[in-house]
Amino acid sequence: MAGNSFGELFRLTTFGESHGKAIGGVLDGCPAGVELDIEKIQLELNRRKPGQSAIVTQRKEPDTVEVYSGIFEGKTTGTPIGFAIHNTNQKSKDYSHIKDSYRPSHADYVYDKKYGFRDYRGGGRSSARETASRVVAGAIAKQFLSDIQINAFVSQVGELKMGKSYQELDFSLIESNPVRCPDPEMAQKMEDYIKSIKKEGDTIGGVITCVAQNVPIGLGEPVFDKLHATLGAAMLSINAVKGFEYGSGFEGIKMKGSEHNDAFNPDGTTKTNRSGGVQGGISNGMDIYFNVAFKPVATILQSYETINKEGEPVTTQGKGRHDPCVVPRAVPIVEAMAALVLADFTLLARTNKI
């Protein structure tokens, strides 16, 4: 209810502030018998962690996950999987300048109004550091969903938009460059652009596209918990996300029904897939694909004017180690959230029929 849990049957609850002792979570409802490779969890965390390349924040956080429970002799036991990532690089002094003033387009102000006060160190609970816990749980979900392939990648940075459809891409190239764009030429352009933005002390937005393949027919519930509605909520819950569209998305509104409808093949697949793998909220066995829009990160390393707690104007200099563009590191988070949604509906789909 207080918003720190996600999923119903395959359910993650997270905790932790960016500068507290640890962040972590409990994954409850993972079925027993999943052979779990802890190394794979750590590899996903490494995809998200700071300092991995020249175009992301240079903070040094090892982000090592410690699993406390729920696994025995290499397999999940059906009991909750508790885990923690200890915070080891807490430079609280870096944040002293925001203790008494509110950064524009950050959560500082609303936290103070909502809760009466806040842990101001590094954004506290509103820090994107929280998403590391999602990546841990998502990595477990992926291992549970071993038949499903989930691939996310950067498809746009600022105005730089990849022209290709996902079918034209080689997903194995996603990890070949620091931007995580599987089109090497475009990746290079994006990287150069992010570097120039970084030099300005500024930030830029972007889009992540995600594709889930080999999803069985029947996931998703028909009314409020439509598969795409839950995917949308999952993506919109990631820091800095401003929009979500699936299948034909916002472009689809310009089409006529006669153009937009996906005709059936005799085997129940469809000739086109403007539906994005979801019909009436339920997966139809075709590829699920969607776009997630990220705004430019609010923290800029420039001087800016804002207000303090008393409402007085103050001039502040943004500092610290921040991402000039959030999308490269957000790729594993998008995949993790997609995996959590699909794992949850996979379990729920077991209850539809007698």
Q: CB 289: neighbour CB atoms within 10 A?
A: 22
Q: Does 342 bind its own copies (CB under 8 A)?
A: no
In the list 283, 288, 328, 342, the residue contacting its own copies (rule: CB under 8 A) is: 283
CB of 44 to its own copies, least distance (A): 19
Find tokens 């932790």 and name the residue: 16
Is 246 a binding residue for its own copies by CB under 8 A? The answer is yes
In the complex, the smallest distance separating the C-beta of residue 209 from its own copies, rounded to whole angstroms, is 12
In contact, 262 and 254? CB cutoff 8 Å: no
- HSE of 20, CA atoms in CB hemisphere, 13 A: 17
Tell me if 296 is assigned to a ligand binding site: yes
Helix (H, G, I), strand (E, B) or coil at 278: strand
Q: Does 214 interact with its own copies (rule: CB under 8 A)? A: no
Contact residue for its own copies among 96, 176, 184, 217 (CB under 8 A): 217
Q: Tell me whether residue 173 or residue 236 sits nearer to its own copies (CB atom).
A: 236
Which helix (DSSP H) or strand (DSSP E) does residue 232 occupy? helix 227-236
Determine the angle formed by the axes of helices 327-348 and 131-144, rounding to 10 degrees: 50
Per-residue DSSP letter, 132: H
Compute φ and ψ for 322, nearest 5 degrees: -130, 165
Mark the segment that binds its own copies (CB under 8 A) among 27-35, 53-61, 163-171, 180-188.
27-35
Task: Using the minimum distance from each CB to its own copies, give the nearer residue, 176 or 210.
Answer: 210
Task: Work out which of 93, 172, 185, 354 binds its own copies, going by CB under 8 A.
Answer: 354
Q: According to the binding rule CB under 8 A, does residue 124 interact with its own copies? A: yes
255 contacts its own copies (rule: CB under 8 A): yes
Ligand-binding site membership of 129 (annotated) = no
Under the binding rule (CB under 8 A), the answer on residue 166 touching its own copies is no
43 scored as a contact of its own copies (CB under 8 A): no
Q: Is 16 in the site for its own copies (CB under 8 A)?
A: yes
Residue 54 binds to its own copies (criterion: CB under 8 A):
no
Burial 154-178 (b: 16+ CB within 10 A, else e): bbbbbebebeeebeebeeeebeebb
Contacts of 10 (CB under 8 A, 6+ apart): 27, 29, 30, 141, 144, 340, 343, 344, 346, 347
Helical axes 327-348 vs 38-48, angle rounded to 10°: 140
Stretch 132-151 residues interacting with its own copies (CB under 8 A) = 144
Q: Does 289 bind its own copies (CB under 8 A)?
A: no
Does residue 250 belong to the site contacting its own copies (CB under 8 A)? yes
Say whether 240 counts as a known binding-site residue. Answer: yes
Residue closest to 250 by CA, chosen among 304, 282, 209, 291:
291
Q: Which is nearer to its own copies, 51 or 281 (CB)?
A: 281
Q: Which residue's CB is nearer to its own copies, number 21 or number 60?
A: 21
Count of positions (residues) in the chain? 354
Using the rule CB under 8 A, is 116 a contact of its own copies?
yes
Rank residues 163 and 311 by Cβ distance to its own copies and give the closer one. Answer: 311
* Backbone CA torsion sign across 41, 44, 46, 51: negative
Does position 229 bind its own copies by CB under 8 A? yes
Judged by CB under 8 A, does residue 280 bind its own copies? yes
Please identify which residue in 28, 61, 191, 335 interacts with its own copies, judged by CB under 8 A: 28
Q: Which is nearer to its own copies, 139 or 282 (CB)?
A: 282
Which 294-323 residues touch its own copies, going by CB under 8 A?
294-300, 302, 304-307, 311-313
Enter the DSSP assignment of 264: B
**What tokens does 106 get?**
């950050």
Is residue 218 a contact point for its own copies (CB under 8 A)?
yes
Task: Measure the CA–CA gap between 249 and 172, rounded to whole angstroms.
Answer: 26
Q: What is the dihedral of CA 239, 122, 113, 242, to 10 degrees?
A: -10
The minimum distance between CB 185 and its own copies, in angstroms, equals 20
DSSP H or E segment with residue 154 = strand 149-157
Residue 137 in marked binding region: no
Binding site for NADP(+): residue ranges?
A: 48
